[in-house]
Structure 1
Amino acid sequence: MSKKNSENYEPINEYDVTLDAVKSVMEKYSKFKNDVNQKTIFLGFDGYIDSLYSLVRKRDSAEKWVKMESMKEFATRINDAAGSSCNVERVLKKNIAGGCAPNTGRSTSHLGANTIICGALGYPEINPLFLDYPDNVSHYSITNPGTTAAYEFNDGKVMTTDFGNINGITWDLIMERIPRDQFIELIEESNAIAQGHWALVPNMNNFWEHLCEDIFPNLSNSKEKVFLVDAADMKKRKNKPINEMLKILQKVDEWMPAALAMNDKETADIAKVLSAEDSMFEKKNIRPIKSREDYYDFNKRLNEVLGLSYIITHDPHFATITTKNNHYWVTEGYTSKPKFTTAAGDHFTGGILMGLVCGLDPAESLVIGNAETAIFVRTGVSVSPKELERFINEYMSYILTDRTDFQL
């Protein structure tokens, strides 16, 4: 990290530890790189075939065209056609195995961790897209995958998904595919368990109840693990199941350190739900998020109510992590022109999981998660520890300048 970049960075708020966290990660990186290979991550229980598209604004010829750059432009096109019809051309970027488990697994496995992916990967035969992983990945399939068409823009993405197969996943089906004793062994040998996407898997609350009642009591080392939940877009879920999810997550936290991970919009959704009249929690200082400044300390206030081991928020510009006693902010290496956005959040999950299980402190773990995301949105590639280290060495320059590049 250059001295000039360090001197030019101004902390965003009182919780901003970006500079110190990046420096300490660089000092500890050799140990982190060695520790990663000794860890095992269990991921479940989803799976999708994701088709990633750009949308065409204007086409001049078979070879020459201009893409839609913003979600607002797409919305305007649809709105202007209301009452009639329209055609929007899409250009395929790639087909890829998607979902929280497959995408996070791509991150953790390329970093070097032994990775167990348990989800909707194809049944009775696993779809070949889910087999395009390093040799340190084990697959356990429950059912056939969902399908997603993702339209990517510079400022976000629109994902349209068929959840039919995902909606059919039950605890009984999981136990039918993986016998209980074998399932306990898989969890026993894992250093972390990541579950997602909560809002998109309707039976997830029930899965966690069974984990707490049937699986966790049979573990010899539950306190040594991390249980991370990716909440996902909760707008289609009612307040009651969201409240219930948080209550069950508190139960999980009694067995092992639990982490609730959300993006900025999902954090705002939680704020809205918990400040509503039907909230199951004491409101204290919980209020709706209305500005960027509200994110500075929201999770700190939220965890005074929930009392979880970790609450995490990530955004293209920043990430925060809150423990039961502390709250940290780390600025992200933002780019205004991302090449890929679908699976970026899952790469953040993979990075922060590896930081936490390899002994980095919470703020340092944010640096790993942010770096994984920043590389992915620029390249669409899950990287090795060597490539990750190279980005972290330049981390501050990506904050101070809107750099769209990262050479693999």
Structure 2
Amino acid sequence: MSTPMKRYTDFLQNVRGKILLGCDGFVDETYELVDVRRGPADFTPMKKLKQFGELIVQRADGGVGLELVPKRRCEGGFAINTGRVAACLGLKPRLPGLYGGKAIDPAYEPFAKICELHSLGDPALTIALEFGDGKILMSNLEAVSTLSWSDFEKHFGQAKLDAMFSGVDILGLGYWSLTANFDELFQGFMDQYRTATPPRRMFFDFADIKKKSSESFLRSLELIRSFSGKIPMVLSLNEHEVLELCSRIGVARPELTPAAIGSALAVAREKIGFAELVVHTPEFAVATSVTEGVALALQARQTKIVRLAGAGDSFNGGYLCASLGELSLKERLVVANAVTAFFVTHGFPPNREELAAQIEKAADK
């Protein structure tokens, strides 16, 4: 076994830690669109997102009738999509969120034994249109947008909250753009560590930054930065989100190349005062750290795609888990890339043996 692979296998054999992620919950109803139908069970799906967009533009003055074919009804959201990676690696993440009111929704039942699901109510609904090269997500956000920290306090009580937040190594909060009370929830999370031992790091996925105003965005960044001296803050972005981040904080928008993004990311990280910024794309991942500088991990674009919804969250889950060990910045990116590659080609995250095999395949490790 090569020396690089030994570091990964040693990490996977010994990975330990407590992860707490909140606090959303979606049920994703995923469909594909029919392009050409030849018979009751014989059709060609619309494979390109661009094809769908062009069709909408062509018929903008009239109407568009499209046929949906169900693909799956499944769990969705930052907490479960990210946390299931940890669960598949043998960890048992704590996931407060919206997984069902009177009972756990069937979409979440497979995770009830391998995750600590703490449900405050029914999940939100997302309609996902999936193509071979991308997806469209349309969500009814009422359940998520009304969730507040006071709901946590009323539902759990302080004793249960103390137990939930104690001993946490990595704390995560996702989908800022979909959560109306994000700042309040974050403040509630931070209040749990006024006297308790804080986590080793806190992780964020803001999702579609364009959805909310610059004022709201900058206010959230400033609030997070105010706690960065106590807990190292990590923000993960995709290739579109990093461009929006740069525009909103006054950093020149980079070209979508590893070198250009790496340079811009270093400037952006210092400007917003986070410990780490991470960018993931289908072909590479880049990160910058206050202690390790800039790192890059190339990734072969996957072609035999089974599932795209949840790919970014799977990357985040891999990065979070890799952060529990002593891996370098680049090695954490390699682990996250491998989790993503496995997920999009299998439809579910890898276990430890499958992840080691996926890393072994990587040309850049």
1:55 Cα offset (Å)? 1.3
Query: Among 395, 401, 404, which residue is 2:362 paired with?
Result: 395
What is the CA-CA distance between 1:327 and the residue it aligns to?
0.8
Partner of 1:328: 295
The aligned counterpart of 2:223 is 248
Q: 1:373 aligns with which of 340, 353, 357?
A: 340
Residue aligning to 2:323:
356
Aligned-residue offset at 1:333: 2.6
The answer for unaligned runs of 5 or more in structure 1 is 2-22, 276-285, 400-408
Answering whether residue 136 of structure 2 is matched by residue 158 of structure 1, we say yes
Is 1:219 the counterpart of 2:196 in the alignment? yes
Tell me which residue corresponds to 1:288.
253
Question: Could you give the per-residue CA deviations for residues 320-372 of structure 1, whole angstroms, max 9, x where no partner exists?
Answer: 11111411111123124522110011111110001011221221111111101
Helix, strand or coil for the counterpart of 1:271? helix
> Which residues in structure 2 correspond to 1:2-401 (within 5 Å)?
25-36=4-15, 38-133=16-111, 135-212=113-190, 214-220=191-197, 222=198, 224-275=199-250, 286-292=251-257, 294-325=260-291, 326-396=293-363
- 1:97 & 1:350 partners in 2: Cα distance? 15
CA offsets 1:95-148 (integer angstroms, 9 cap, x no match): 111000011121110011121111111113221221212733111112211111
* Counterpart amino acid of residue 30 in structure 1: T
Aligned sequence identity (%): 25
Answer yes or no: is the 8 Å Cα contact 1:42–1:115 preserved in 2: yes
Offset from partner CA, 1:27-58 (integer Å, 9 cap, x none): 2133312332x322111100100012221111
Cα pair 1:348 1:373 within 8 Å, conserved: yes
Structure 2 counterpart of 1:305, which letter?
K
Q: CA deviation at 1:25?
A: 4.8
**Which amino acid is the alignment partner of residue 135 of structure 2?**
K
Q: State the Cα deviation string for residues 184-217 of structure 1 (Å, max 9, x = none).
A: 22222221111111111111111112333x2111
In structure 2, distance between residues paired with 1:337 and 1:69: 13
Work out which structure has the larger RCO, using CA pairs closer than 8 Å and 6 or more positions apart in sequence.
1
| 2:130 partner SS | strand
Cα distance, 1:232 vs. partner? 0.3
RMSD of Structure 2 on Structure 1 (CA):
1.8
- Give the secondary-structure state (helix, strand or coil) at the position aligned to 1:26: helix
d(CA) in 1 for partners of 2:348, 2:334: 18
Is the contact made by 1:24 and 1:364 (CA closer than 8 Å) also made in structure 2?
Answer: no
Can you give the 5+ residue segments of structure 2 that lack an aligned partner in the other structure?
Answer: none
TM-score, normalised to structure 2, is: 0.94
Q: Please state whether the residue corresponding to 2:116 is helix, strand or coil.
A: strand
Give the aligned residue type for 2:268.
L
- Using the alignment, how far apart are the partners of 2:265 and 2:295 within structure 1? 10
One-letter code aligned to 1:227: M
Alpha carbons 2:202, 2:233 under 8 Å: kept: yes
Q: CA deviation at 1:82?
A: 1.8
Letter in 1 for 2:282: P
Matches of 1:183 and 1:166, distance apart in 2: 20
Displacement, 1:83? 2.5
Amino acid at match of 1:257: P
**Distance apart, 1:291 and its partner CA:** 4.3
| Partner Cα distance (1:345, 1:103) in 2 | 9
**What is the rounded CA distance, in whole Å, between the counterparts of 1:33 and 1:142 in structure 2?**
33
How far apart, CA to CA, are the structure 1 residues paired with 2:299 and 2:126? Answer: 27
CA contact (8 A) 1:167 1:203 kept: yes
Classify the secondary structure of the residue corresponding to 1:287.
coil
CA spacing shift, 1:311–1:207, aligned 2, 3 Å: same
TM-score, scaled relative to structure 1: 0.85
Distance 2:45 2:130 in 1: 10
Give distance in 1, aligned partners of 2:316 and 2:158: 27
Task: Name the CA distance, whole Å, in 2 between partners of 1:62 and 1:310.
Answer: 51
* Counterpart contact for 2:9–2:356, Cα < 8 Å: no
Deviation at 1:76, TM superposition (A): 1.4
